[in-house]
Amino acid sequence: MMTSEKITFYIDEIECTATQGQSILEAADENGVYIPRLCHQPDLLPGGSCRVCTVSANGRNQAACTTPVANDMIIENGSEEILDLRRAVIEMLFIEGNHYCPMCERSGNCELQAIAYRLKILAPRFPFMFPSRKLDATHPGIFIDGNRCIQCGRCVRAAQQIDKKPILGFIGRGGAVRIKASSTEGLKGVDISPDDACVKACPVGAIIVKDTAYRKPIGERMFDKQPIGSEIEARRTS
């Protein structure tokens, strides 16, 4: 197979081009079409776990970050059905953790919050679960707040793939799965620093560099000026 062969596909009736072998999400990005995503990070292998990037590809719901784009593929990204499905997924993430945006230091810089705003979610349709989650504050420079973790696994993959040190991992199964530092002492027992990719990978307020909170004034935070995905969409008009 020729991997560099150009193919044509359609997202919401917009004609797009891609390179054979790209995922739908990568191809959409290049064409300036934003597909919401949480567990995907361009410099990491796809995780395919959050399902926020779900699109309808040739009539089947697929995760855009793990599904290769194909010639003549017809993709629905903005249909009401798809949007509602994504909203449901985001709402579930909200209710199964303890996400208090108004007081969270990541507010305004949080991808989960930004996607919720972009999808115009006002209140979740599911009842809040108010789980009891733990904090790991043992490290002098970094802490993990399980309340805000969405188990996207970006930190775990970044530690392995970029930092090349398996200091973070998952424990538990199903709904009880959690990220954890790979030491019985918690974060204190692992070699982690604020500059590590695994720290920067967190899309929410679960992995935080200590004593940096609220330094960016309201109005200058990442998503204060324009909604998440705007930088991708800007590629389309330019």
Partner 1 sequence: MSEFVTRIREKSLKKVVIDPVTRVEGHGKVTIIIDEEGRVERTRLHIVEFRGFERFIQGRPYWEAPVVVQRLCGICPVSHHLAAAKAMDVVVGVGPDGGLSATAEKMRRLMHYGQMLQSHALHFYHLCSPDLLFGFESDVSKRNVLAVAAEYPEIAKQGILLRRYGQEIIRATAGKRIHGTGAIPGGINRHLSKEERDGFLTDIDQMIEWAGAAVELVKKVHSQNPDFFDSFGSFPSNHLSLVRKDGALDFYHGNIRAVDADGLKIYDQVDYKDYLDYIGEEVRNWSYMKFPFIRKLGKKNGWYRVGPLARLNTCDFVPSPLAQKQFEIFRAYTGGKPNNCTLHYHWARMIEMLHSAEVIKELLSDDDLSSGELIRRGQRVGEGVGLIEAPRGTLFHHYRVNGDDQIEMCNLIVSTTNNNDPMNKAVHRVAQDCLTGKEITDGLLNNVEVAIRAYDPCLSCATHALGQMPLEVKLTDREGNVISARRKGSRA
DSSP reduced 3-state for 91: helix
Cβ proximity to partner 1, 148 vs 157, nearer residue: 148
Hey, what long-range contacts does 67-70 have (CB within 8 A, 24 or more apart)?
Answer: 67/23, 67/24, 68/21, 68/22, 68/23, 68/24, 69/7, 69/9, 69/18, 69/22, 69/23, 69/24, 69/26, 69/27, 70/7, 70/9
The minimum distance between CB 130 and partner 1, in angstroms, equals: 12
The answer to the question of residue 38 lying near ligand FES (CB under 6 A) is yes
Site for ligand FES in 89-118 (CB under 6 A): none
Nearer to partner 1, 47 or 205 (CB): 205
Q: Determine if 184 is a binding residue for partner 1 (CB under 8 A).
A: no
29 vs 64: CA distance, rounded Å: 11
- If one asks whether residue 63 binds ligand FES (CB under 6 A), the answer comes out as yes
Distances (CA, A) of 93 to 71, 110, 143, 161, 204: 34, 13, 21, 25, 11
1 near partner 1 (CB under 8 A): no
The backbone torsions φ and ψ at residue 88, rounded to the nearest 5 degrees and listed phi first, read: -60, -45
Spatial separation of the C-alpha atoms in residues 186 and 206, rounded to whole Å:
15
Least distance in Å: CB of 85 to ligand FES? 12
Is 118 or 188 the residue whose CB approaches ligand FES more closely? 118
CA distance 231 to 43: 17
Piece of 31-39, 68-76, 112-120, 224-232 that binds ligand FES (CB under 6 A)? 31-39
Exposure of 144 by Cβ count < 10 A (0-12 exposed, 13-18 middle, 19+ buried)? buried
Pick between residue 220 and residue 231 the one whose CB is nearest to ligand FES: 231
Q: Is 137 in the site for partner 1 (CB under 8 A)?
A: yes
Is 68 one of the binding residues for ligand FES (CB under 6 A)? Answer: no
In the complex, what is the shortest distance from the CB of residue 196 to ligand FES, in angstroms, rounded to a whole number? 22
Tell me: does residue 49 bind ligand FES (CB under 6 A). Answer: yes
- Asked if residue 215 binds partner 1 (CB under 8 A), the reply is yes
> Of the candidates 218, 225, 237, 238, which one interacts with partner 1 according to CB under 8 A?
218
Ranges within 47-106 binding partner 1 (CB under 8 A): 102-103, 105
- Minimum gap (Å) between residue 150 Cβ and partner 1: 19
Q: How many residues bind partner 1 (CB under 8 A)?
A: 17
Going 194 to 198 to 199 to 201, the CA torsion angle's sign is: positive
- Supply φ then ψ for residue 4, to 5 degrees: -95, 5
Residue 37 interacts with ligand FES (CB under 6 A): yes or no: yes
